Structure 1
Amino acid sequence: MAWAGMPRIHGRAPVAAGLALAALLLPVLPGGDALAEPKPTIAEARKKLKKLNEQADLIVEKYNQAGEKWKKARKRYQTLNDDLKRQSRKVAGLREELVTMAVSNYQLGAATGWEGLIARSDPGALLSGMARMDQMSALRAQSLRAFDEATESLRADRDKAKKALAEADASRDELAEQKAKADRMVKEQIKLLRELGAYRTGDPNSPGIQYTGPASGNARKVLEFAFAQVGKPYRYGGTGPGAWDCSGLTQGAWRAAGVSLPRTTWEQWSWGASRRVSLDALQPGDLIFSEGLGHVSIYVGNGQIVHAPQTGDVVKVVTLSSYGRRLVGAVRP
């Protein structure tokens, strides 16, 4: 019960007063709006972008691996499916042969049957007829065995084909999942790069630049190819000719020199297990791998590399010291 003369205080009044006080204490922008959360500094944005690039390297690598797994599974299925078709034609041919033999045997009937043979007065003809009967029986038995073997082989190939198809479907699901992750990561990278004013679209038709270094042999072919790609955009999963990712570029460059590298960074590092070289003994054309195997570049010489860096950038030549990634080793294809 309130005392006489005292103002009545409703339950929500203190809350409203508190909110009003808080509003008065907030900094106000010239336009009258309360101050929003400050944008990150350029240094903070670059730090975040560096972290995103490292994460994107790994996600893109998983995407590429899933893609390669799916391609191999699909190729295996297609091969088995072709084998299956060939086997089907073989079985159909054997079946037709058996039907033909059965019809012929029926048509010959009494002429080559036991009654016909016994009715002949010439013993030589009787023996010759019996030999023909034995021969036909042997051929028929042989055809039946071949038919059975072909049928069993057909069933086995069909089972393999089904398994290969299931593996391909599983790889496709994995590929879709990794692609979705990569797409989300790319959006974040592009947003940050635009905020920094550092987003580069690149030119898919860039003529590149001319390599004038001292490298010779395969290494020269590799670097001539890589330098011709300078200015083209980075795109994850890119294998040229208008856009590249890091391992796509290294694969394409060494292909120009007649050397077949696997598609992904992980596979290239594994492929080069017996071709590892010290980072202190690099030569032009060597592949340099980052820690975690999320990125690979090509050593140019004189402390420089050529590579496809990351989303929002282009194929370019930079100093190894500006690489921005911790190194794990090098491979000389």
Structure 2
Amino acid sequence: MRLGRAPLAAGLVIGLITLPTGGVAADPQPTISQAKAKLEKLNDKADKVVDRYNTATENYKAAKKRYDKLNAGYKRKLATVAELRQQVVTMAVDGYKMGRDLTSMPTMVTAENPGDLLYQMALTERLTADRAGRLAAFDRENRGLKIERDKAQGALGEADEERDKVKKERSEIEKLIAQQKKLLDRLGAYRVGDPNSTGVKYTGPASGSAAAVLNFAYAQIGKPYQFGGTGPGGWDCSGLTQASWRAAGVSLPRTTWQQWAWGASRRVSLDALEPGDLIFSEGLGHVSIYAGNGKIVHAPQTGDVVKVVPLSAYGRRLVGAVRP
């Protein structure tokens, strides 16, 4: 009997070992098509979060710049008030001494020369007027000091709020990147890119400013997508478009939203695209550059590199185009 039970016991042990913890079957791995669909949704979400991050970053820089300027003005006014305060103290001491010496009755009565008396009286009057002017300046600057301080403190509060937004958006982006990378690794499609890539030569139909734009953009091909990237080793979509048009002497705002708003009077039909035009996705989470011949150059998303693809393979719904 003992020998008969041994195979059964061994079978039970093996069965227990091979069962998943808790006795529940492990979640099945997503299929390739499911992984691609999920990645597309993540990319779309990441586009919007990255643009919010870029906007918060630009707002923080502007608020910090405003604070620094106001704070410098406050410090200058503080120094002016301190100097005036010292003058008022000195003036009070000197005024007491001179008032006692020049305007006292014995001095007036014993003056040997009427001219000396008139001079002393005029000097006293002049000193009194000077004291009044300095006191008024001190009072004026002192009241202005509080206004400058309050302005600087308000600007600092705004900068702190924007900095907190940057941290929040950055934290969400990092979570999204982890999910994107996991899916890309599963698909075997994660591309590290080369920060030192010299790109490829542009040979399309662009001319003039558009040629300068596309020559720059094509020289970035192969460099990695990097959220918040403004080069030279990595780019996000709006960082690439901004730098490319800067190479042609045109100053674009930093974020996708800002570039779309900036181009409000420069919109063009998607049926009439020309090389160099900026093409925006629905939701304004992504922007690319039209290269001509039905192609675009862009910095796509995490795990990919700056590249040229057919506009038809863009993979995002389009909302419109801008010609800078």
TM-score, with length taken from structure 1: 0.86
1:110 CA drift (Å)? 4.2
**Alignment partner, residue 57 of structure 2:** 67
Aligned pairs (5 A) from 1:49-60: 49-60=39-50
| 1: CA distance, partners of 2:264 / 2:110 | 81
**Alignment partner, residue 171 of structure 1:** 162
| 1: CA distance, partners of 2:108 / 2:207 | 85
Aligned residues: 306
1:133 CA drift (Å)? 1.9
Q: Residues 129 and 34 of structure 1: is their aligned pair in 2 closer, same or farther, counting only changes over 3 Å? A: closer
Deviations 1:78-113 (A, max 9, x none): 111111111111112212322333343344344432
| 2: CA distance, partners of 1:306 / 1:158 | 48
| 2: CA distance, partners of 1:46 / 1:192 | 8
**Alignment partner, residue 9 of structure 1:** none
Contact 2:63/2:155, CA 8 A, preserved across alignment: yes
Contact 1:235/1:245, CA 8 A, preserved across alignment: yes
1:271 aligns to 2:288 (yes or no): no
Gaps of 5+ in 1: 1-19
Q: Residues 281 and 123 of structure 1: is their aligned pair in 2 closer, same or farther, counting only changes over 3 Å? A: farther
**Alignment partner, residue 92 of structure 2:** 102
Contact 2:39/2:180, CA 8 A, preserved across alignment: yes
Deviations 1:273-304 (A, max 9, x none): 11111112211111111110100111111111
Contact 2:193/2:224, CA 8 A, preserved across alignment: yes
Other structure's SS at 2:196 match = coil
| 2: CA distance, partners of 1:132 / 1:118 | 17
Contact 1:66/1:174, CA 8 A, preserved across alignment: yes
| Amino acid in the other structure paired with 2:321 | A
| 1: CA distance, partners of 2:44 / 2:179 | 13
Other structure's SS at 1:262 match = coil
Q: Residues 117 and 318 of structure 1: is their aligned pair in 2 closer, same or farther, counting only changes over 3 Å? A: farther
Q: 36, 59, 68: which is aligned to 1:78?
A: 68
Aligned pairs (5 A) from 1:1-333: 36-115=26-105, 116-333=107-324
**More deviation, 317-326/41-50:** 41-50
**Alignment partner, residue 5 of structure 1:** none
Contact 1:307/1:316, CA 8 A, preserved across alignment: yes
Other structure's SS at 2:69 match = helix
Contact 1:111/1:117, CA 8 A, preserved across alignment: no
TM-score, with length taken from structure 2: 0.88
1:212 CA drift (Å)? 2.2
Contact 2:51/2:255, CA 8 A, preserved across alignment: yes
| 2: CA distance, partners of 1:320 / 1:46 | 19
1:204 CA drift (Å)? 0.6
1:121 CA drift (Å)? 4.4
1:177 CA drift (Å)? 1.2
Q: Residues 216 and 97 of structure 1: is their aligned pair in 2 closer, same or farther, counting only changes over 3 Å? A: farther
1:152 CA drift (Å)? 1.4
CA RMSD of aligned residues (A): 2.3
1:114 CA drift (Å)? 4.2
Other structure's SS at 1:120 match = coil
Contact 2:99/2:124, CA 8 A, preserved across alignment: no
Contact 1:247/1:295, CA 8 A, preserved across alignment: yes
1:125 CA drift (Å)? 3.2
